[in-house]
Amino acid sequence: MAQFHVLIGPDDATSLPVIRRIGFADLRGALRSGLDDFLAIPTHAVFLCLIYPIAGIVLAGLTLGYDVLPLLFPLTAGFALLGPIAAVHLYELSRRREAGLDVSWSHGFDVLHSPSLPAIGAVGIALMVLFLAWLYSARAIYQSLFGVLAPESATSFLIDVLTTPNGWKLILIGNAVGFVFAVVAFTISVVSFPMLLDRNVGAAVAILTSMRAVAANPVTMAAWGIIVAALLVIGCLPVFVGLAVVMPVLGHSTWHLYRRVVAS
């Protein structure tokens, strides 16, 4: 029964909510509201999101060895798949501010007392599995083109990737496969985590609602995915430090996007 509750939720919360049609104006409105939240609670948001640049730098450092050099880009790109998990703190702060409650940083961890915490963990595990599957796929693609031996140096690795036919295949196939993983992760998580904070539902209900939201607004949600990807790239450029601003704004904005697309 416990597993059933994690997947479905309590009996009175199993009905699927109404999904609204949204447009580009709603995306702009969500971003404005997210920026307002960030400006209202900047210290708390930056504090919660400093883990992103720190983790990004650590991941980069772990890949300095030539044997794992081919995984540098997959690690950096795939790290975004896990973003919604840590952004749960930001959703909670936006939820509290919307409700007129105290938004001190400690309340960002009130998610630990949420009745939907097991379901949040279940969706988080699903994203982690996707992340690991992406890393495995990226490594398999590289080894199928360049063999199992580690690159001799970072310079030779870059030359192989950027100037050889196999390198071009790696870029093309790797990005295509990565795109599929990104679409799957985006589809199942874009509104599922905010919904789990907002309502006592199960993981399956939240994921299905997220999929319905994307299906009902394919063009708008695709635009949102492009906005998220573009801002993450911008945030990564100054040695990941920009993520300390980009991530909280995106996290707060995602909460407001959920409010616009899922009817109360």
DSSP 161-193: HHHSHHHHHHHHHHHHHHHHHHHHHHHHHTTHH
| 218 within domain boundaries | yes
| 16 within domain boundaries | no
C-alpha distances out from residue 40 to 44, 93, 110, 158, 232, Å: 9, 11, 19, 44, 22
DSSP state of 150: P
Q: How many domains does the chain have?
A: 1
| 217 within domain boundaries | yes
Condensed to tens digits (0 to 9), the pLDDT of residues 219-244 reads 999 999 999 989 988 887 766 777 77
Residue 24 has pLDDT above 90, yes or no: yes
Instruction: Please state the rounded mean pLDDT for residues 109-122.
Output: 84
C-alpha distances out from residue 233 to 17, 50, 206, 226, Å: 33, 16, 28, 11
| 10 within domain boundaries | no
Of 112-116, 144-148, 200-204, 210-214, the least confident: 112-116
Confidence of residue 1 (pLDDT cuts 50, 70, 90): very low
Confidence of residue 2 (pLDDT cuts 50, 70, 90): very low
C-alpha distances out from residue 143 to 139, 148, 185, Å: 6, 5, 25
132: Cα separation from own chain's centroid: 14
| 15 within domain boundaries | no
3-state SS of the chain: helix, strand, coil percent to 5?
80, 0, 20
C-alpha distances out from residue 26 to 32, 53, 227, Å: 10, 29, 13
Which pTM value belongs to this model? Answer: 0.84
The mean of the pLDDT values for the chain is 84
Provide the domain limits for residue 101.
Answer: 43-261
| 22 within domain boundaries | no
Confidence of residue 86 (pLDDT cuts 50, 70, 90): confident
| Both tokens assigned to 10 | 């309590």
d(C-alpha 220, C-alpha 175), whole Å: 22
| 28 within domain boundaries | no
| 228 within domain boundaries | yes
d(C-alpha 204, C-alpha 161), whole Å: 40
| Both tokens assigned to 78 | 């795939």
